Amino acid sequence: MSSLAGRRIVLGVTGGIAAYKAVEVCRRLVDAGAHVVPILTSGGRRMVGETTFSALASEPVRTSLFDDPETPIPHTTIGQSADLILVCPATARVLSDMRTGRSADLLTATILATRAPVMVCPAMHTEMWEQPSVQENLAVLADRGVLIVAPESGQLAGGDMGHGRLPESATVLAAVEAALGGGELLGQKVLVSAGGTREPIDAVRYIANRSSGKQGNAVAAEAASRGADVVLVTTQPNSAPTGVRIIAVETAAEMAAACELEAPDSALVVMAAAVADFRPAEPADGKLKKVDGAPAVVLVPTIDILATLGAAKPAGQTLIGFAAETDDLVTNAAGKLARKNLDLIVANDVSKPNVGFGHSTNEVVLLLSDGTRHDVPLSDKREIACAVLDAALGYRS
């Protein structure tokens, strides 16, 4: 059962264009069993219709401190009975009001009248997001314990690209679940590998691949938002999500050492990294010089980390691998699932447009060792991460 079942969540919708996404958040919260009390600010009402929220939420929309004769002081009643207040999207204005304790409308009054956790999902244009005033307000709110769902980069209103976009509804929902203490992975260790390994040829050159680490990062972030203690072994530490322990590595051998150390007490292991299958046998200590002619680089196999972890898999551990293929997707992936003693393999056809390496979207087939198969259509990598973890957790139970 979802940790949201029966929980009272006040959904405050303020006047950002991302308010349309709050409709989906509302729907998902209700589907997960939450009792959703929607409050729209005057800006929020300009962005989305009250009827939409009244139809989807558990109660009719409230918009004012004074519009309900039966509840003369709604902010205290709503604030006191809430298990969580979620402000989604949160504009720069509401963050400022929250910081100063200004009771400007029903939402801000309710936030002042609650002892429940408050979570904000800031969403705005990059220029606004980067203002020191906005960042300072957020830092103060974070210090006070307000939970912040960080915005993402991508397309913004008006076609602009940049930072400040509201994350997908699945991300917001996972953050709410984690905040309410019922994260499905609470107290469990999850090991994730991400990025492509780099195998040195000489002091300055290496053999690499196209992996960006985005899919592994998304799995790590998703597991963390479900309450897990996440260890991320990655070749791309600069783009790693917050809230996880990072082990930065370069080569397959370094990744193998870190994974073999961290795997035994992990409940879930997700090998999303693109590990080089071969490495130069004898990398030169210094830089190879052109005048010496084209070097004959002899390659030798690297360790298959996943197969090693599969052979030593402790009872109760769920081991997940990836298979990036260009031909015979399911047959090749099923072979790897069996050969490496996996519980689940995430197969993607990287010859398709917008799939796999470097993209922020993916399209995958999940094959489980009990013979079941789930096809996940082209989606954001975070949505793919959700599907992978859902499948893994469903498989375990």
Residues near ligand CTP (CB under 6 A)? 252, 271, 273, 275, 277, 302, 304-306, 321-324, 336
CB neighbours of 144 closer than 8 A, spacing ≥ 6?
A: none
Cβ nearer to ligand CTP, comparing 56 with 337: 337
Q: Smallest distance, Å, CB 225 to ligand CTP? A: 22
Q: How far apart are CA 365 and CA 363, in angstroms?
A: 7
Catalytic, out of 209, 217, 238, 362: 209
217 counts as catalytic:
no
Q: How far apart are CA 5 and CA 252, in angstroms?
A: 43
CB neighbours of 292 closer than 8 A, spacing ≥ 6?
A: none
Q: Smallest distance, Å, CB 272 to ligand CTP? A: 7
Question: CB–CB of 252/260 below 8 Å?
Answer: no
Q: Smallest distance, Å, CB 197 to ligand CTP? A: 8
| Phi–psi pair at 105, nearest 5 degrees | -160, -175
Q: Smallest distance, Å, CB 289 to ligand CTP? A: 31
* Sheet strand arrangement including 245-248: 245-248, 229-234, 189-194, 268-271, 318-325, 344-349, 361-368, 373-380
Q: Which two tokens stand for residue 97?
A: 């009001």
Q: How far apart are CA 220 and CA 85, in angstroms?
A: 25
Q: Smallest distance, Å, CB 333 to ligand CTP? A: 8
Q: Which residues are catalytic?
A: 209
